[in-house]
Amino acid sequence: MKTLFISREPLPPVIEAAREMFDVTIGTEALDRAAAATALQDYDAMIPTLGDDFGAETFAAAGDIRCKVLANFGVGYNHIDVDAAKAAGLVVSNTPDVLTDATADIGMTLILSTCRRAGEGERLLRSGAWGGFGPKSMLGTHVTGKTVGIVGMGRIGAAVARKCHHGFDMKVIYHNRSRKDAPVPAEQVDSLHDLMHRADIVVVTVPGGPATTHLIDAEALAAMRPEGIFVNIARGEVVDEAALIDALEAGTIAGAGLDVYENEPHVPERLRALENCVLLPHLGSATYETRVAMGMMAVDNAKAWAEGRPLPQAV
Ligand code: DGY
What's the CA gap between 132 and 142, in Å, rounded?
21
Cβ atoms within 10 A of the Cβ of 40, count?
Answer: 27
Could you tell me if 92 and 40 lie in one domain? yes
The amino acid at residue 306 is A
Is residue 162 within 8 Å of residue 183, measured between CB atoms? yes
pLDDT of residue 88: 97
285 lines ligand 1 (CB under 6 A): yes
- Report the CATH number that the domain containing residue 72 is assigned in CATH: 3.40.50.720
Residues of the chain falling short of pLDDT 70:
none
Q: What angle do CA 204, 140, 219 make, to 5 degrees?
A: 35
284 lines ligand 1 (CB under 6 A): yes
According to DSSP, the β-strands at 147-151 and 186-188 are unpaired
99 lines ligand 1 (CB under 6 A): yes
pTM (2 d.p.): 0.96
Could you tell me if 248 and 111 lie in one domain? yes
Domain count, the chain: 2
Could you tell me if 141 and 259 lie in one domain? yes
Burial tier of 171 (Cβ tally within 10 Å: 0-12, 13-18, 19+): middle
The amino acid at residue 17 is A
What's the CA gap between 312 and 315, in Å, rounded?
9
Could you tell me if 124 and 93 lie in one domain? no
285 Cα–ligand 1 center, Å: 7
pLDDT of residue 226: 98
75 Cα–ligand 1 center, Å: 5
Could you tell me if 162 and 82 lie in one domain? no
pLDDT of residue 281: 98
In a domain, 198, yes or no: yes
Distances, alpha carbon 54 to alpha carbons 5, 151, 163, in Å: 14, 27, 34
Could you tell me if 202 and 130 lie in one domain? yes
Dump pLDDT digits (tens) for 138-174.
Answer: 999 999 999 999 999 999 999 999 999 999 999 999 9
In a domain, 82, yes or no: yes
Report the nearest atom of ligand 1 relative to the CA of 94. Answer: 2
Active site positions, annotated: 235, 264, 282
Could you tell me if 135 and 273 lie in one domain? yes
Could you tell me if 129 and 242 lie in one domain? yes
In a domain, 314, yes or no: no
pLDDT of residue 127: 98
In a domain, 311, yes or no: no
pLDDT of residue 176: 98
Is residue 69 within 8 Å of residue 303, measured between CB atoms? no
Residues composing the chain: 315
Could you tell me if 213 and 273 lie in one domain? yes
Minimal-distance CA residue to ligand 1 atom 6: 74
237 Cα–ligand 1 center, Å: 14
According to DSSP, the β-strands at 255-258 and 201-204 are unpaired
The amino acid at residue 3 is T
Minimal-distance CA residue to ligand 1 atom 1: 74
Could you tell me if 149 and 192 lie in one domain? yes
Report the nearest atom of ligand 1 relative to the CA of 285. Answer: 4
74 lines ligand 1 (CB under 6 A): yes
Minimal-distance CA residue to ligand 1 atom 3: 76
pLDDT of residue 232: 99
74 Cα–ligand 1 center, Å: 4
In a domain, 246, yes or no: yes
Could you tell me if 118 and 204 lie in one domain? yes
| Domain, as residue range, for 302 | 2-98+288-306
Task: Estimate the crossing angle of helix 100-115 against helix 155-162, to 10 degrees.
Answer: 50
Minimal-distance CA residue to ligand 1 atom 2: 74
pLDDT of residue 279: 98
Could you tell me if 124 and 266 lie in one domain? yes
